[in-house]
C-alpha cells in the first residue's frame, strides 16, 4: 500500500510539538534540573479524596457511570459547574469536554476551514498553535505588553488582513498568567478586546486553564463574564476552563461556556469525535464539586505554588546579569525571560544542558515564520524549591558571558 | 455577533443522529418496550471489580494516573492488549483511543478531505455514516449478502467512481455481527475484500466492537490478522476494537491496530484533539486485563446475551407473518428484519408506538439519498427475556395487516 498517497494534505504537513522532543532530550541527563515541562506538580493532586470518590461512584452509580452518556456532558456535572462558576449562564450554554484542548478543537471544528485566519497573542501556547496550523488555519500574531494583547495592533492587523481578502474568524487568547509569558490582561484591555471583536464580528476563544491559580493581586473578571455583563453579548466569547491544573490533567475534564447555538454545534461534533467524555471521571468530579472540597483544595495548591514562584523570582533577582529581564506573574505556572536582543536561546540550550539545567527556548511559542529567539520559558510548578535555587544559579552561569 | 456567517460549511450542513431523536420519542410512552437502543446491558458491566480496581489504581499510582500521558496511550495498556489480542503486532502499531468512534475519527482525520470517497456496507452503523458526511466525504454504498459485502459490486463501484475522477481512500466495514444487519463476513469474502483493497490501494477500516460476543459458530479471523498473515501487508487494514461492549462504554477505552506510519499520524492528531485518553481508566483496564479477569467476564456476557438472542429469534418464528424474514446473527446485539418490498418501516413506527413497542426504521442506516424503507433493526442486548416475549408479540401485530 502507498499510504502517503492516501493521507490528506494536513496530515502530511503536520508538525509535532517540538517541546516533547526537547523534553525527551533532557531525560538522559543525570542530575539535570528541568524548568522545561508544563506539568502541574503531582503534589497538587487530591489522590486520596479521588480514590474514595471514584470507588463510591462506581459502587453507587456504576450502571449509569459505565454506560453511554450525553455528547454534551452529564447534566449533574453541568449543574455543579453552574453553581461553582463566578458568572451565570444556562445549562445549554455549557459543554463538558475531554480536557481543554478537546474543547478548543470542537470550537475550531465548528468555525475554521483551511485558509481561515486566527489571531493569536505572540508568543502563545504551542499546543494551540500547532493545532491551528495542522487544521490549515493561518495565524495572525499580535504582540503583547504588560497589560496583554495590543488592541491597537490588533485592529490594524484585522484591517490589513481584510483588505487582502482574508477571512478572520477567531481571536485566541490566554488572558490570565499566559502560557508562556506569565502576562495577565488588564480589565481595561479586556473590555477593549471585546469591543474590537464584536465590532468586527470575530469570535474570542478564551483559554483559561490558570485563573484559579492566583497567588497575588486581585482576580480580574473573565472575558466571557465581561462580554455578558457589560456588552450584553452571550456569543462573542467562548470560554474554556479545565480541572487539569486543579485536580489533575489525567482526568481529562474541562468545560466550554459559550452561546447556546455554538454549544449545540460543539455537542454535535463531540458526538462524531468522542461520543461522550469519560463518564466515571465526570461523575467523580461532580461529587468532588458537590462535596465542596474544591475551594480548600485550591488554597492548598496556591500554598504549594506561591513559594515556588517567589523563590524563582528572588533567585532571578539575586543571580541574573543586569541585561536580562523577566515577567513577575501573579499566578499560573510560568515565567518568561528576555535575553538581550541578538541572543539566541535555541543556541544556548545545549550549553544549558551541559550545566544540567533546561528550559524551553522562546522561539517554540511563535507561529511558523514569526519566531523570535531571545526569549525563553521557565516552569516553576514542577521543580522543588531546592531545585529552583540550584537551577537558577546554573542558568545564570549559562547567560553570563 | 452573526454566528452562522462564521461557521464552516461542514458545521452548517451537519445532521444529528436521528436515532437519538427516535429514542427521545420513546421516552414519554409508559409501558413501552424498546428494541430501538444500541446500548449494552448494564448487567454486563463488572462494576464491583472495577470499583476495587479504580480505587487501587488511584491509591497506588495516583501521581501518574492523574498526570498527563502519552498521546498514543499508556505503554502498559498497549503491552496488556498485545498479550490479549489474537494476532501479533508491535507496540508502535497500536493507539489507545477515547472509544472506538474516536479511533475512527483519527483515521478519517488522517486520510480524508472533503470530496474524498469512502465505501461502506449498506446498511451500516449510522454513527459512522453521519461522521463521514459531516467531514464532507462522499459515501459509496455497497450491498451485502449473507457472507458480507458484495466484492463484485465493490470492484464495479470502484472502477465506475474512478472513471468519474473520484478519489476513493477507504472501505469501511463491520465484519462481525454487523450493526445493523447482524451479518458476519465469511472467511472467503474477507480474503476477497483484502485483495480488492490492496489491488486498488484503498485502506480498509475494520470496525470491530462485537467479535468477542459470539454465541454460536466458529470465530473468524479479523481482516487485520488475515491481511498480515496471508497478504503479508501490515498497512492495508486499520482494525478498531473496543472495551465498550465488554466492560462498559462509559469507560471510553478502545484501540486501533494499524501500520506504524498510520499510528504515528493518529498519535499526532490525538495530541491536537484530546492530548491523551483518560489516564485512570487506561490504568484500570490495564489492571483488569493483567488480572486475567476478562475471559471469564466475556463468558458471563455471552451467557447473558445468548438466551436473549435465542428468545428473540424463537419469538420471531412463532409470531411473525410468513412474508417477513430476519437475520440469525451468531453474536453481537442486533437482528435485522425485512418487511415485504413496498412496506415502509418509517411509516409503521408510529403504529408501533401505539402498540407500545419501538425499533429503529432501517432507512436510518443508509447514506443520504440511498435509503431503503422496508427494513428495520431490533436490539436484543438491552431488553429482558420477558420484554422480548411481549414486545415481539406486539410487533407482529403491527406487521400483520
Using one digit for the tens of pLDDT, what is the confidence trace for B249-296? 999 999 999 999 999 999 999 999 999 999 999 999 999 999 999 999
Mean pLDDT of B242-249: 97
For residues B365-378, give the mean pLDDT.
Answer: 96
pLDDT of residue B22: 77
Q: Please answer yes or no on whether B10 and A201 come within 8 Å at the CB atom.
A: no
> Judging by beta carbons within 10 Å of its beta carbon (0-12, 13-18, 19+), is residue A1 exposed, middle or buried?
buried
Q: Does B62 touch chain A (CB under 8 A)?
A: yes
What single DSSP character describes residue A334? E
Q: How far is A311 from chain B (nearest CA, A)?
A: 24
Q: Is the peptide bond before A180 cis (omega within 30 degrees of 0)?
A: yes
Q: Chain B: give the shortest CA distance to residue A55, in Å.
A: 5
Interface test with B, best of A27, A66, A117, A135 (most B CBs within 10 A): A66
Beta carbons of A45 and B54 less than 8 Å apart: no
| B199, pLDDT greater than 80 | yes
Q: Is A232 on the interface with B (CB under 8 A)?
A: no
Chains A, B: CB contacts under 8 A, how many?
Answer: 263
> Hey, is the C-beta of A98 within 8 angstroms of any chain B C-beta?
yes
pLDDT of residue B16: 66
Per-chain mean pLDDT for chain B: 96
* A248/B277 CB distance under 8 A: no
Kindly tell me if the per-residue pLDDT of B23 is higher than 90.
no
Laid out side by side, the sheet with A117-122 consists of A94-97, A254-257, A237-242, A203-208, A168-173, A117-122, A138-145, A148-149
pLDDT for the residue B24: 75
Q: Would you call A172 an interface residue with chain B, using a CB distance cutoff of 8 Å? A: no
**CATH numeric code, A9-45+296-399:** 3.90.1150.10
pLDDT tens for B69-96 read 999 999 999 999 999 998 999 999 999 9
Of A9, A134, A259, the CB nearest to B113: A9
> Does any CB of chain A come closer than 8 Å to the CB of residue B224?
no
Instruction: Work out the number of other CB atoms within 10 angstroms of the CB of residue A75.
Output: 13
| pLDDT value of residue A16 | 66
Place of cell 455481527: B177
The predicted pLDDT at position B17 comes to 65
Please tell me the distance from the alpha carbon of residue B359 to that of residue B316, in angstroms, as a whole number. 14
Residue A19 pLDDT: 72
Q: Is the model's pLDDT at B44 over the cut of 80?
A: yes
B132-161 pLDDT, tens digit each: 999 999 999 999 999 999 999 999 999 999
- Select from B45, B65, B203 the Cβ nearest to the Cβ of A62: B45
Q: Select the residue from B4, B6, B77 to test the A interface by mutation, using most A Cβ atoms within 10 A.
A: B6
Q: From B248, which residue of chain A is nearest by alpha-carbon distance?
A: A66
Question: SS3 letters for chain B?
Answer: CCCCCCCCHHHHHCCCCHHHHHHHHHHCCCCCEECCCCCCCHHHCCHHHHHHHHHHHHHHHHHHHCCCCCCCCCHHHHHHHHHHCCCCCCHHHEEEECCHHHHHHHHHHHHCCCCCEEEEEECCCHHHHHHHHHCCCEEEEEEEECCEECHHHHHHHHHHHHHCCCCEEEEEECCCCCCCCCCCCCHHHHHHHHHHHHHCCCEEEEEECCCCCECCCCCCCCHHHHHHHCCCCCCCEEEEEECCCCCCHHHCCEEEECCHHHHHHHHHHHHHHCCCCCHHHHHHHHHHHHCCCHHHHHHHHHHHHHHHHHHHHHHHHHHCCCCCEECCCCECCEEEEECCCCCCHHHHHHHHHHCCEECEEHHHHCCCCCCCCCEEEEECCCCCHHHHHHHHHHHHHHHCC
User: B130 vs A272: CB contact, 8 Å cut-off?
Assistant: yes
d(CA B48, CA A315): 51
Domain extents for chain B? 9-45+296-399, 67-290
Diameter over CA atoms, chain B: 64
Report CB contact under 8 Å: A6, B111.
yes
| Closest chain B residue to the Cα of A194, Cα to Cα | B1
Instruction: Report how far residue A108's alpha carbon sits from residue B1's, in angstroms, rounded to the nearest whole number.
Output: 17
Half-sphere exposure of B257 (CA within 13 A, CB side): 26
3-class DSSP assignment, residue A6? coil
Residues 6+ apart with CB under 8 A from A82: A88, A89, A90, A91, A94
Which ipTM did the prediction report? 0.96
Question: Which of B16, B113, B250 is the best residue to mutate to test the A interface, defined by the most A CB atoms within 10 Å of its own CB?
Answer: B250
Rounded-to-integer distance, Cα A369 and Cα A372, Å: 9
Kindly report the average pLDDT of chain A as a whole number: 96
Q: What is the pTM of this model?
A: 0.96
Burial B83-96 (b: 16+ CB within 10 A, else e): eebeeebeeebbbb
Q: Are the CB atoms for B241 and B208 separated by under 8 Å?
A: yes
Residue in chain A nearest B74 by alpha carbon:
A250
- CATH class of the structural domain A67-290: alpha beta
> Is residue B219 over pLDDT 90?
yes
| Confidence band, pLDDT 50/70/90 cuts, at residue A17 | low
Tens-digit pLDDT profile for residues B316-352: 999 999 999 999 999 999 999 999 999 999 999 999 9
Q: Do domains A9-45+296-399 and A67-290 have the same CATH topology?
A: no
Say if B105 is an interface residue toward chain A (CB within 8 Å). Answer: yes
Q: Does B245 touch chain A (CB under 8 A)?
A: no
Contact yes or no for A207/A154 (Cβ under 8 A): no
Q: How many CB atoms lie within 10 A of CB A86?
A: 11
Closest CB to B63: pick one of A42, A201, A269: A42
Chain A residues 112-151 with CB within 8 Å of chain B? 112-113, 116, 127, 130-131, 134-135
Whether residue A22 is predicted with pLDDT greater than 90 in this model: the reply is: no
Amino acid at each position: 500500500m502507498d499510504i502517503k498517497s492516501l493521507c490528506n494534505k494536513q496530515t502530511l504537513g503536520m508538525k509535532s510539538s517540538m517541546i516533547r522532543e526537547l523534553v525527551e532530550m533532557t531525560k538522559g541527563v543525570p542530575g539535570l534540573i528541568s524548568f522545561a515541562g508544563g506539568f502541574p506538580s503531582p503534589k497538587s493532586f487530591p489522590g486520596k479524596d479521588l480514590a474514595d470518590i471514584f470507588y463510591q461512584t462506581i459502587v453507587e452509580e456504576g450502571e449509569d457511570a459505565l454506560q453511554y452518556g450525553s455528547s454534551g456532558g452529564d447534566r449533574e456535572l453541568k449543574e455543579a459547574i453552574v453553581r461553582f462558576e463566578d458568572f451565570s449562564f444556562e445549562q445549554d450554554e455549557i459543554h463538558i469536554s475531554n480536557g481543554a484542548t478537546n474543547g478548543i478543537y470542537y470550537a475550531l471544528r465548528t468555525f475554521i476551514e483551511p485558509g481561515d485566519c486566527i489571531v493569536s497573542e505572540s508568543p502563545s501556547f504551542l499546543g494551540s498553535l500547532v493545532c491551528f496550523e495542522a487544521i490549515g488555519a493561518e495565524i495572525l500574531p499580535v504582540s503583547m505588553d504588560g497589560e496583554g494583547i495590543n488592541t491597537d495592533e490588533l485592529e490594524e492587523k484585522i484591517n490589513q488582513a481584510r483588505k487582502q481578502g482574508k477571512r478572520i474568524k477567531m481571536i485566541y487568547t490566554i488572558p490570565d498568567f499566559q502560557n508562556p509569558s506569565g502576562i495577565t490582561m488588564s480589565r481595561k484591555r479586556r473590555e477593549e478586546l471585546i469591543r474590537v471583536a464584536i465590532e468586527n464580528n470575530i469570535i474570542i476563544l478564551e483559554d483559561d486553564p490558570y485563573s484559579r491559580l492566583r497567588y497575588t493581586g486581585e482576580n480580574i473578571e473573565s472575558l466571557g463574564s465581561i462580554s455578558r455583563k457589560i456588552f450584553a453579548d452571550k456569543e462573542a466569547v467562548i470560554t474554556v476552563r479545565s480541572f487539569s491544573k486543579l485536580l489533575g490533567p489525567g482526568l481529562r475534564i474541562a468545560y466550554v461556556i459559550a452561546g447556546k447555538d455554538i454549544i449545540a454545534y460543539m455537542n454535535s461534533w463531540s458526538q462524531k469525535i468522542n461520543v461522550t467524555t469519560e463518564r466515571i471521571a465526570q461523575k467523580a468530579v461532580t461529587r468532588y464539586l458537590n462535596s465542596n472540597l474544591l475551594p480548600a483544595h485550591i488554597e492548598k495548591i496556591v500554598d504549594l505554588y506561591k513559594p515556588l514562584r517567589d523563590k524563582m523570582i528572588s533567585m532571578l533577582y539575586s543571580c541574573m546579569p543586569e541585561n536580562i529581564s523577566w515577567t513577575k506573574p501573579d499566578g499560573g505556572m510560568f515565567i518568561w525571560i528576555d535575553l538581550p536582543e541578538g541572543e539566541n536561546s535555541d543556541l544556548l540550550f545545549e550549553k544549558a544542558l551541559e550545566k544540567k539545567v533546561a528550559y524551553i527556548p522562546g522561539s517554540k511559542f511563535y507561529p511558523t515564520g514569526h519566531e523570535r529567539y531571545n526569549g525563553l520559558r521557565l516552569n516553576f510548578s514542577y521543580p522543588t524549591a531546592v531545585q529552583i535555587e540550584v537551577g537558577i544559579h546554573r542558568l545564570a552561569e549559562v547567560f553570563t558571558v
